[in-house]
């Protein structure tokens, strides 16, 4: 069964550094998402992306964050000037259709630790 692939599985960085989290969505999917889960808290929506632009973003997704689809297969989340509170599990997801109730396929996540 096709799956969403995320790399790296773990990322450790120093506060103030920039990190790029990478995702390869399912190949025929058109909608891409980033969610995060701080330890012990709920899964939170960050951003959705379609047709090479952001379609929705949450209050969490401020100027510190950016997303990009640099080629036909990768989808990245860049976090500039990382803070301690950015430490979380970051999940990439994708879906195939534009229907609002389309199910999402999630990757296994990147555990980001900011020291």
Partner 1 sequence: EDQVTQSPEALRLQEGESSSLNCSYTVSGLRGLFWYRQDPGKGPEFLFTLYSAGEEKEKERLKATLTKKESFLHITAPKPEDSATYLCAASPSGSARQLTFGSGTQLTVLP
Instruction: Tell me the closest approach of the beta carbon of residue 61 to partner 1, in angstroms.
Output: 10
Number of residues that bind partner 1 (CB under 8 A): 24
Stretch that binds partner 1, among 13-21, 48-56, 63-71, 80-88 (CB under 8 A): 48-56
In this structure, the number of other CB atoms found within 10 A of the CB of residue 6 comes to: 23
CA 50, 51, 54, 55 dihedral sign is: negative
Tokens coding 83:
């803070």
Regarding 56 and contact with partner 1 (CB under 8 A), the answer is yes
- Residues within the interface to partner 1 (CB under 8 A): 4, 31, 33, 35, 41-45, 48, 55-56, 58, 91, 93, 100-101, 103-109
């Amino acid at each position: 069964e096709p799956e969403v692939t995320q790399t790296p599985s773990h990322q450790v960085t120093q506060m103030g550094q920039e990190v790029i989290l990478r995702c390869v969505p399912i190949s025929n999917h058109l909608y891409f998402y980033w969610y995060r889960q701080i330890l012990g808290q709920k899964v939170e929506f960050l951003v959705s992306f379609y047709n090479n632009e952001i379609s929705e973003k949450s209050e969490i997704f401020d100027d510190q964050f950016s997303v990009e689809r640099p080629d036909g297969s990768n989808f990245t989340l860049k976090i500039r000037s990382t803070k301690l509170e950015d430490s979380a599990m970051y999940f990439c997801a994708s879906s195939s259709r534009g229907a609002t109730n389309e199910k999402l396929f999630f990757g296994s996540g990147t555990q980001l630790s900011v020291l």
